[in-house]
Amino acid sequence: MCLGVPGQIKEIYEESGARMGKVNFGGIVKEVCLEYVPEAQVGDYTIVHVGFAITRLDEQSALETLKMFQDMGVLDEELNPTAEADPGLHDNAR
Amino acid sequence: MKYLAEFRDGELVQKLLTEIRQTVTRPWAMMEVCGGQTHSIIRNGIDQLLPPEIELIHGPGCPVCVTPLETIDRALAIAAQPNVIFCSFGDMLRVPGSHKDLFTIKSEGGDIRIIYSPLDALKIARENPTREVVFFGIGFETTAPANAQVVFQARRQGVRNFSMLVSHVLVPPAIEALMSSPTNRVQAFLAAGHVCSVMGYWQYEPLAARYHVPIVVTGFEPLDVLSGIHRTIVQLESGRAEVENAYSRAVQRQGNIPAQQILNEVFEVCDRQWRGIGMIPQSGWALNEKYQEFDAATRFHVDDLHTQESALCHSGEVLQGLIKPNQCPAFGKECTPRKPLGATMVSSEGACAAYYNYGRFIALESIPG
Ligand code: SF4
């Protein structure tokens, strides 16, 4: 029950004095409470847990993280092209 | 789906695994605190892809698993009352109480409703003004803002037939309890990403310093988990013990301030029993004085609770990382998700259920039953 799922905000409105919205989760649209992401705009990505947006997803930061993963090991390979590039699945005896 | 596919990229997973293999030189044991991460690790086979030096100890971060038996029994007693509509997240329904579970109460005629959002419970209360609507408010810091908001709204809207049975738990005191236990084997923590989305991670800085233990804020997709493990290993190998954020797209140091404001408005810190673990001081949230009238535990007087745990269940040791689920003699035999003996076999985030659902039947060694 503790999972948070990322989705994109499609619509923002007010209901019984609370900031609510529609969020699209890969095709499934649900009503979500947006009280905790007052700065979020339509089009932003957010993480939703039990019907509440708990944080805005920072796109810039997501891209930087992915770039960092992509760059991992690149320097090793360039400096040492014979080093094992892909050892395949590690044989784990546990 | 944006931000999902990217963080499951197989090629990048291999890259990170290579990086981890090249960094690790000796055995390390780290704990992923959150059951959501346990689920992701077992489902994606991450524990089997890692070099044998790295042991992942599954932590107590599954709210369904640690909600105390006494509270489950109390929920069962309240839900059985004739004028009550009892609202709960779905995975609480199969959690074994001393004698029954919520499903049994439902089949015996109890009005139990599975809800997706706590706001649904408030809506049900508004629509049924002559009934008492009770919401089972459990969870870690991730769920707390939702549960707090619904009590806040109930008070503001004057919905008096609504109440909440509260059993909230907090991560930092659990880390503290684990680290000060004489049986502790944990050398580093992957902190639960979404707990930190709400609370931030400044709270962990004194813990990292006091116990000299690296704590890395970690997300849930395969790349997030591996990135958290990688950063942890780099720290362990170099003798550092700091708080790092490996989930920066969803977590900031200060956390979610508007959420924290509502939490402060509605809750106060209290001592809390953890099922299978025992009492951890200052490890929970209860409704504060201002919101007392919405506390189901005081609204419904339930006495005569005689709690009794299954004699076969070792979930306490599982929750403390002392054994792996498949080392429990009842695992997959007397105990399955269809007929769980312990709460850790119920929720998909419980370690026993994760091991069962993803076919981890072979244990290194079983412990004597
Ligand atoms: S397998 Fe079942 S009986 Fe064993 S510890 Fe897990 S929940 Fe308890």
Query: How far does the CA of residue B209 sit from the closest CA of chain A (Å)?
Result: 26
State the DSSP code for B199. Answer: H
* pLDDT value at residue A91: 40
Residue in A2, A16, A35 to test binding to B, most B beta-carbons within 10 Å: A2
The answer on pLDDT for A78 being more than 70 is: no
Are residue B71 and residue B104 in the same domain, yes or no? Answer: yes
The residue range of the domain holding B134 is 65-170+257-299
pTM of the full structure: 0.88
Cross-chain Cβ contact B21/A92 below 8 Å: no
Assigned domain for B279 exists: yes
Assigned domain for B305 exists: no
Evaluate whether B44 touches B226 at the Cβ level (below 8 Å): no
The β-bridge partners of B112 are B86
Query: Which residues of chain A does B20 touch, with a Cβ-Cβ cutoff of 8 Å?
Result: none
Query: Which residues of chain A does B48 touch, with a Cβ-Cβ cutoff of 8 Å?
Result: 92, 94
Among B313, B348, B355, name the best residue to mutate to test ligand 1's pocket (greatest count of ligand atoms within 8 A of Cβ).
B313
What is the average pLDDT value for chain B, to the nearest integer?
92
Nearest to A86 among B14, B16, B157 (CB): B14
Query: Which residues of chain B does A59 touch, with a Cβ-Cβ cutoff of 8 Å?
Result: 249
Assigned domain for B368 exists: no
C-alpha pair distances (Å), B176 with each of B59, B188, B292: 13, 12, 29
Are residue B69 and residue B141 in the same domain, yes or no? Answer: yes
Residue in B23, B117, B120 to test binding to A, most A beta-carbons within 10 Å: B117
Q: How far from chain centre, in Å, is Cα A20?
A: 20
Evaluate whether A36 touches A4 at the Cβ level (below 8 Å): no
- Percent of chain A exceeding pLDDT 90 equals 46
C-alpha pair distances (Å), A25 with each of B16, B139, B261: 27, 23, 28
Give the whole-angstrom CA distance, residue B40 versus residue B24: 22
User: Can you give the CATH number for the domain in which B25 is found?
Assistant: 3.40.50.11750
Helix (H) or strand (E) holding B356: helix B351-357
Assigned domain for B134 exists: yes
Assigned domain for B122 exists: yes
- Residue B61: band (very low, low, confident or very high) from pLDDT cuts 50, 70, 90: confident
Query: Which residues of chain B does A8 touch, with a Cβ-Cβ cutoff of 8 Å?
Result: 2
Are residue B266 and residue B215 in the same domain, yes or no? Answer: no
Q: Mind listing the domains of chain A with CATH numbers?
A: 5-83 (2.30.30.140)
Sheet holding B243-245, edge to edge: B54-61, B28-34, B188-192, B215-218, B243-245
Residue of B131 and B62 predicted with greater confidence: B131
Residue of B28 and A61 predicted with greater confidence: B28
Are residue B76 and residue B19 in the same domain, yes or no? Answer: no
Assigned domain for B307 exists: no
Are residue B205 and residue B286 in the same domain, yes or no? Answer: no
* pLDDT value at residue A19: 95
Are residue B143 and residue B19 in the same domain, yes or no? Answer: no
Give the whole-angstrom CA distance, residue B148 versus residue A52: 11
Are residue B134 and residue B15 in the same domain, yes or no? Answer: no
**Interface predicted TM-score (ipTM) of this complex, two decimals:** 0.89
The answer on pLDDT for A85 being more than 50 is: no
Point out the ligand 1 atom lying closest to the alpha carbon of residue B345: 7
Q: How far from chain centre, in Å, is Cα B179?
A: 18
Cross-chain Cβ contact A33/B120 below 8 Å: no
Are residue B116 and residue B215 in the same domain, yes or no? Answer: no
* pLDDT value at residue B277: 86
Q: What is the mean pLDDT of residues B162-187?
A: 94
The per-residue pLDDT for range B137-161, each reduced to its tens digit, is 999 999 999 999 999 999 999 999 9
Domain count across chain B: 3
**The token pair that represents A8 in the structure block:** 């994109």
Question: What is the DSSP annotation of B43-60?
Answer: HTTHHHHS-TTEEEEEEE
The protein residue whose alpha carbon is closest to atom 1 in ligand 1 is B331
Question: What is the DSSP annotation of A53-94?
Answer: EEEE--HHHHHHHHHHHHHTTHHHHHH-TTS-S---S-----
Q: What is the mean pLDDT of residues B229-239?
A: 96
State the DSSP code for B136. Answer: E
- B223 CA → ligand 1 middle, Å: 30
- B154 CA → ligand 1 middle, Å: 38
The answer on pLDDT for B241 being more than 60 is: yes
Are residue B49 and residue B184 in the same domain, yes or no? Answer: yes
**Residues whose CB is less than 8 angstroms from the CB of residue B236 and which lie 6 or more positions away in sequence, other chains included:** B28, B30, B187, B188, B214
- Residue B363: band (very low, low, confident or very high) from pLDDT cuts 50, 70, 90: low
Query: How far does the CA of residue B21 sit from the closest CA of chain A (Å)?
Result: 9
Nearest Cα neighbor of B196 from A94, A55, A77, A27 is A55
The β-bridge partners of A6 are A47
User: Can you give the CATH number for the domain in which B281 is found?
Assistant: 3.40.50.11740
Assigned domain for B363 exists: no
The answer on pLDDT for B23 being more than 70 is: yes
Assigned domain for B308 exists: no
Query: Which residues of chain A does B149 touch, with a Cβ-Cβ cutoff of 8 Å?
Result: 18, 33, 35, 52
Which residue in chain A has the smallest CA separation from B64?
A1
Give the whole-angstrom CA distance, residue B163 versus residue B174: 27
Question: What is the DSSP annotation of B279-315?
Answer: EEEEEEEEE-GGGGGGBHHHHS----------TT--H
- Residue A75: band (very low, low, confident or very high) from pLDDT cuts 50, 70, 90: low
Nearest Cα neighbor of B197 from B223, B219, B169, B228 is B219
Residue of B10 and B263 predicted with greater confidence: B263
Q: How many CA atoms lie within 13 A of B119 on its CB side?
A: 20
Residue in A20, A34, A54 to test binding to B, most B beta-carbons within 10 Å: A54
Cross-chain Cβ contact A33/B117 below 8 Å: yes
- Residue B356: band (very low, low, confident or very high) from pLDDT cuts 50, 70, 90: very high
- B341 CA → ligand 1 middle, Å: 6
Are residue B222 and residue B209 in the same domain, yes or no? Answer: yes
* pLDDT value at residue A73: 66
The protein residue whose alpha carbon is closest to atom 8 in ligand 1 is B313
Point out the ligand 1 atom lying closest to the alpha carbon of residue B314: 5
The answer on pLDDT for B42 being more than 60 is: yes
Q: What is the mean pLDDT of residues B170-180?
A: 93
CA pseudo-torsion sign B150, B154, B159, B163: positive
Query: For strand B215-218 and strand B243-245, is the pairing parallel, antiparallel, or unpaired?
Result: parallel
Residue of B124 and A72 predicted with greater confidence: B124
Ligand 1 pocket residues where CB is under 6 Å: B 312-315, 318, 325, 328, 330-331, 335, 340-342, 344-345, 352
* pLDDT value at residue B203: 95
Are residue B100 and residue B205 in the same domain, yes or no? Answer: no
Give phi and psi for A72, each to the nearest 5: -60, 135
Nearest Cα neighbor of B84 from B127, B137, B125, B138 is B125
Are residue B39 and residue B87 in the same domain, yes or no? Answer: no
